[in-house]
C-alpha cells in the first residue's frame, strides 16, 4: 500500500453519529485529518471555516440533503474543486444518478467496507492533488510567459528607435555620396564606391532589423489583445493589386511570375485595410521567398455568399503534414528555406493567423510535400 496523502483534511458529513464515528476512525487510523459534520448546514459552515481536500457526504439527511449540499458547494467558485464522494445505503441507488449530475465524483455504499472506502478516498485525493499541481504549473507558466512577453516588448521597443536612426543616417550618407561631384581621381572613385557599398549594406541590414523588431512588437501587441482594428468595408481587388505590385520586383528578380485572377466587380469584405495589406503581403512574399526561381504564383480572389476567399498558390517545395501542424506557431522556421537569400524569422504566419482571427476570418494551408502550397484566407463579406 502507498502511504496516504498525509495531512489531507477530509470532511465527513452524516446525520447518524455512529456512521461518523466508524468512518472517522477508519480515516484517522490511516493518517488523515477528519472534520465531522452532523448535518448539511453544519457541513457548509465547516467548509467555510477550513477548506477540506475531500468531502464524504451522506446522500439522505433530514432538512438539507446531500444533493443540496453538493449543489451549493459546486456553485461556489471557492469550493467547486473539492471532490465529493456520496455515502449511500444500497436502497438509495436511484438517487445516485442525481448525485453525479450535481457534481459528485464517486460513491461508497453503506455498510462500509474499509479497504474500499480508503481506496476511493486515496484515488480522489491523488486526482485532486494532480489537478491542483497542473493548475499551479499552468498559472506559473502564464505568469512567466507574460514576463517574457513584457521583456521582449521592452527590448523590441527600445531597439526600434536606435535602429530607425541607423537606417535614416545610412540613407543620408547614400544621398550625400550620390550627390557629390564626380572626380576623375582613381582613389576618390574607389573610396566613394566602397562607402556606397558598405552604407548600402548597413541600410539593408538595419531595415531588416527594424522589420524584425516590428514583427516582434506586432506579435506581442496581438497576444496581449492590444491591437486596434478599424473594421470597414474594404474592396479586396485594389488591395490585392497593390500587394502584388510591391511583391513584383523581388519576384521578377527570381524570374517568377505572379498572376492575379479576380472578379471585375468590387469584392468588399469587413476588415481593417492596413492589416489586410499586411496579411496578404505576408502570404505573397512567402510564396516568392520559398519558391525556386522561374516558378509561377497564382493569386485568386473568390466571392461566396457569406465570405470572400483569397488563395495564394505557389509551385514551391510544399509542406509535410508535420510542418503544416507547426506552420502558424511562433518562430516556426520549417523545412522550406528561402531560395534567394531572403531573411526568415518564422513570425510572419503566426501574426497573420492572429490578425485574420481578430477580424473574424480564417486562414489555412493546403499542401502536399513536393507539390507546392496554397494558402487560403477567408474574410467575412461586408
Ligand atoms: N509558401 C510556402 N511554401 C513552403 N513553406 C513555407 C511557405 N510559407 C511558409 N513556409 C514555411 O513556414 C515557415 C514559417 O513561415 P513564416 O511566414 O511564419 O515565417 P518566415 O517566412 O520564416 O519569416 P517572416 O517572419 O519573415 O515571415 C517558413 O520558415 C517556411 O519554412
Ligand atoms: Mg514569412
Shared domain check, 245 and 215: no
Of 207, 227, 171, whose CA–CA distance to 352 is shortest? 227
Q: Which domain holds residue 38?
A: 9-112
In a domain, 259, yes or no: yes
For residue 290, the CA-to-ligand 1 centroid distance in Å is 7
Q: What is the mean pLDDT of residues 165-184?
A: 89
Could you read off the pLDDT of 114-142 as tens digits, one per residue? 999 999 999 999 999 999 999 999 999 99
Alpha-carbon gap, residue 56 to 129, rounded angstroms: 17
Residue 220 · residue 153 · CB < 8 Å: yes
Nearest atom, ligand 1, residue 348 CA: 27
Shared domain check, 375 and 238: yes
Shared domain check, 370 and 255: yes
Residue 267 · residue 304 · CB < 8 Å: no
Q: Which residues of 234-267 are buried (b: 16+ CB within 10 A; e: fewer)?
A: bebbebbeebbeebeeebeebebebeeebeeeeb
Alpha-carbon gap, residue 91 to 61, rounded angstroms: 14
Q: Which three cell numbers, joined as nine digits, stand for 202?
A: 548597413
Ligand with an atom nearest the CA of residue 313: 1
Could you read off the pLDDT of 38-58 as tens digits, one per residue? 999 999 999 999 999 999 999
Q: What is the mean pLDDT of residues 244-269?
A: 94
Alpha-carbon gap, residue 294 to 258, rounded angstroms: 11
Shared domain check, 190 and 277: no
Contacts of 116 (CB under 8 A, 6+ apart): 108
Confidence of residue 219 (pLDDT cuts 50, 70, 90): confident
Ligand with an atom nearest the CA of residue 331: 1
Shared domain check, 373 and 237: yes
Which DSSP category does 287 fall into?
H
Backbone angles phi, psi at 299, to 5 degrees: -110, 125
Shared domain check, 316 and 373: yes
Q: What is the percent of the chain where pLDDT is above 70?
A: 98
Q: What per-residue confidence (pLDDT) applies to 111? A: 86
In a domain, 180, yes or no: yes
Q: What are the strands, taking DSSP E only, across 306-372?
A: 307-313, 362-367
Boundary (domain end) residue, out of 223, 256, 286: 223
Residues framing ligand 1 (Cβ under 6 A): 215, 282, 286-287, 289-290, 314, 316-317, 319, 327, 332-334, 336, 344-350, 373
Residue 271 has pLDDT above 70, yes or no: yes
Of 370, 259, 242, 375, whose CA–CA distance to 313 is shortest? 375
Alpha-carbon gap, residue 119 to 135, rounded angstroms: 24
Ligand with an atom nearest the CA of residue 333: 1
In a domain, 128, yes or no: no
Alpha-carbon gap, residue 232 to 240, rounded angstroms: 16
Q: What is the mean pLDDT of residues 356-369?
A: 96
Of 33, 39, 4, whose CA–CA distance to 19 is shortest? 39
Alpha-carbon gap, residue 24 to 28, rounded angstroms: 6
Shared domain check, 265 and 166: no
- Residues written for the chain: 382
CATH number for the domain that contains residue 335: 3.30.565.10
Shared domain check, 72 and 205: no
H or E, element range at 265: none
For residue 330, the CA-to-ligand 1 centroid distance in Å is 11
Radius of gyration of the chain (CA): 33
Q: What per-residue confidence (pLDDT) applies to 7? A: 84
Shared domain check, 364 and 251: yes
Residue 374 · residue 300 · CB < 8 Å: no
CATH number for the domain that contains residue 103: 3.40.50.2300
Nearest atom, ligand 1, residue 375 CA: 1
In a domain, 293, yes or no: yes
Shared domain check, 217 and 277: no
For residue 289, the CA-to-ligand 2 centroid distance in Å is 8
In a domain, 369, yes or no: yes
Q: For the ranges 81-95, 243-257, 313-327, which has the lowest average pLDDT?
A: 81-95
In a domain, 121, yes or no: no
Could you read off the pLDDT of 70-107 as tens digits, one per residue? 999 999 999 999 999 999 886 777 788 888 999 999 99
Confidence of residue 1 (pLDDT cuts 50, 70, 90): very low
In a domain, 189, yes or no: yes
Shared domain check, 372 and 236: yes
In a domain, 141, yes or no: no
| Structural domains in the chain (count) | 3
Shared domain check, 372 and 242: yes
Amino acid at each position: 500500500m502507498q502511504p496516504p496523502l498525509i495531512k489531507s483534511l477530509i470532511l465527513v458529513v452524516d446525520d447518524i453519529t455512529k456512521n461518523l464515528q466508524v468512518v472517522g476512525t477508519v480515516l484517522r487510523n490511516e493518517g488523515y485529518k477528519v472534520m465531522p459534520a452532523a448535518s448539511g448546514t453544519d457541513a457548509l459552515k465547516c467548509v467555510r471555516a477550513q477548506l477540506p481536500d475531500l468531502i464524504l457526504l451522506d446522500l439522505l439527511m433530514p432538512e438539507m440533503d446531500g444533493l443540496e449540499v453538493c449543489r451549493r458547494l459546486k456553485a461556489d467558485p471557492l469550493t467547486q474543486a473539492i471532490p465529493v464522494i456520496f455515502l449511500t445505503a444500497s436502497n438509495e441507488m436511484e438517487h445516485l444518478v442525481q448525485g453525479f449530475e450535481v457534481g459528485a465524483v464517486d460513491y461508497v455504499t453503506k455498510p462500509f467496507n474499509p479497504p474500499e472506502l480508503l481506496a476511493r478516498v486515496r484515488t480522489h485525493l491523488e486526482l485532486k492533488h494532480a489537478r491542483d499541481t497542473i493548475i499551479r504549473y499552468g498559472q506559473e507558466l502564464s505568469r512567466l510567459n507574460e514576463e517574457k512577453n513584457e521583456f521582449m516588448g521592452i527590448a523590441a521597443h527600445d531597439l526600434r528607435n536606435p535602429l530607425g536612426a541607423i537606417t535614416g543616417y545610412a540613407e543620408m550618407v547614400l544621398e550625400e555620396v550620390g550627390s557629390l561631384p564626380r572626380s576623375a581621381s582613381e582613389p576618390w572613385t574607389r573610396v566613394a564606391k566602397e562607402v556606397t557599398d558598405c552604407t548600402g549594406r548597413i541600410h539593408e541590414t538595419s531595415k531588416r532589423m527594424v522589420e524584425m523588431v516590428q514583427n516582434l512588437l506586432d506579435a506581442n501587441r496581438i497576444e496581449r489583445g492590444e491591437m486596434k482594428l478599424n473594421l470597414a468595408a474594404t474592396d479586396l481587388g485594389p488591395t490585392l493589386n497593390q500587394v502584388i505590385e510591391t511583391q513584383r520586383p523581388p519576384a521578377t528578380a527570381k524570374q517568377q511570375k505572379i498572376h492575379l485572377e479576380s472578379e471585375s466587380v468590387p469584392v468588399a469584405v469587413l476588415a481593417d485595410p492596413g492589416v489586410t495589406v499586411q496579411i496578404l503581403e505576408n502570404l505573397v512574399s512567402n510564396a516568392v521567398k520559398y519558391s525556386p526561381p522561374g516558378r509561377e504564383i497564382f493569386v485568386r480572389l473568390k466571392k461566396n455568399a457569406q465570405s470572400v476567399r483569397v488563395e495564394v498558390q505557389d509551385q514551391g517545395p510544399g509542406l509535410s503534414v508535420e510542418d503544416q501542424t507547426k506552420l502558424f506557431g511562433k518562430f516556426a522556421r520549417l523545412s522550406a528555406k528561402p531560395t534567394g537569400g531572403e531573411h526568415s524569422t518564422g513570425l510572419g504566419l503566426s501574426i497573420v493567423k492572429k490578425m485574420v482571427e481578430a477580424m473574424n476570418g480564417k486562414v489555412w494551408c493546403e499542401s502536399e510535400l513536393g507539390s507546392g502550397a496554397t494558402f487560403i484566407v477567408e474574410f467575412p463579406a461586408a
